[in-house]
Amino acid sequence: MNERIDGRKNDELRPIKIKLGVVKSADGSCYLEWGKNIVVATVHGPRPIFPKHLADAERSVIDYRYRMAPFSVTDRKSPVPAKRDKEISLVSGNALESVILIEKFPNTVINIDAMILSADAGTRVAALTAATLACADAGLPMRGLVSAVSAGRANGNHILDLTKEEEDAEDAVDTAVAVLMPQKEIVLLQMDGFVEKEEWKKIINMGIVGSEKIYDLQKKALLEKYPIDGDINE
């Protein structure tokens, strides 16, 4: 049994910290630390969509932007969105589109921005986890919360929540799983690597179980923002 580089158990998450409402000019926002990852997600909208030809008379359009700050990684990343950023933005936006009740806001756009300030693997799932909370913080009606986590294989182990070193292992398999809770519907699924069918099922299940832990943390953060008792929150 190989121990993980940072000493975690195979199904153990890195430490996560969540704070809501940090960007006052946004309709909703979330600051999230996940291991060495730092992400800030903001929501603006629903608001009028420009140019008008992009408007949909039956629903709101979700504009999800996943971007990494140039200083978020060791080798400076250009702020110009790469193909990777555009793909992550597309699939993450699709995930939230199936969750937010967009039919309630025709002819509008909902701008969701997820900015990675510090990156150490698992940024897209950290971003989506934070973006969901930003949407809930903004009061957007949703079917549930999207809880996301990475699962896979490294150094012979099937593991949850890979770090950069584990992603770069020779036998690495890295899956991003995002689940709509409480319905347990998969809304995002991406994979890097080669794996046998049975192993793949095991990894997906690990991801679903892991996202349940994320869901608990998300709920806790939302409820913490609105304590019923206690002193006035200045």
The yes or no reply on residue 98 touching another protein (CB under 8 A) is no
Interface residue with another protein, options 16, 28, 187, 203 (CB under 8 A): 28
Q: Which stretch binds another protein (CB under 8 A): 71-79, 169-177, 201-209, 218-226?
A: 218-226
Q: How far apart are the C-alpha atoms of 202 and 145, rounded to whole Å?
A: 23
The yes or no reply on residue 232 touching another protein (CB under 8 A) is yes
Interface residue with another protein, options 14, 31, 35, 45 (CB under 8 A): 45
Contacts of 205 (CB under 8 A, 6+ apart): none
Site residues for another protein, 142-181, by CB under 8 A, read 142-145, 180-181
The yes or no reply on residue 31 touching another protein (CB under 8 A) is no
Using a 10 angstrom Cβ sphere, with 0-12 exposed, 13-18 middle and 19 or more buried, the burial of residue 19 is middle
Q: Which stretch binds another protein (CB under 8 A): 8-16, 32-40, 164-172, 217-225?
A: 217-225
Q: Which CB, 38 or 130, lies closer to another protein?
A: 130
Q: Which CB, 100 or 126, lies closer to another protein?
A: 100
Identify the H or E element spanning 1. none
Q: Which stretch binds another protein (CB under 8 A): 31-39, 80-88, 148-156, 226-234?
A: 226-234
Q: Which long-range contacts (CB under 8 A, 24 or more apart) does 170-177 make?
A: 173/199, 173/203, 174/121, 174/150, 175/150, 175/151, 175/203, 175/204, 175/207, 176/122, 176/124, 176/125, 176/148, 176/150, 177/125, 177/148, 177/149, 177/150, 177/151, 177/204, 177/207, 177/208, 177/210, 177/211
Q: How far apart are the C-alpha atoms of 65 and 92, rounded to whole Å?
A: 9
Name the residue type at position 109. V
Q: Which CB, 34 or 105, lies closer to another protein?
A: 105
Q: Which stretch binds another protein (CB under 8 A): 39-47, 82-90, 113-121, 190-198?
A: 39-47
Token duo for residue 151: 């699962």
Site residues for another protein, 106-145, by CB under 8 A, read 106-108, 136-145
Q: How far apart are the C-alpha atoms of 68 and 211, rounded to whole Å?
A: 23
| Residue 214 CB, nearest approach to another protein (Å) | 14
Residues forming contacts to another protein in the complex (CB under 8 A) are 27-28, 45-48, 60, 101, 104-108, 136-145, 180-183, 218-219, 222-223, 226-230, 232-234
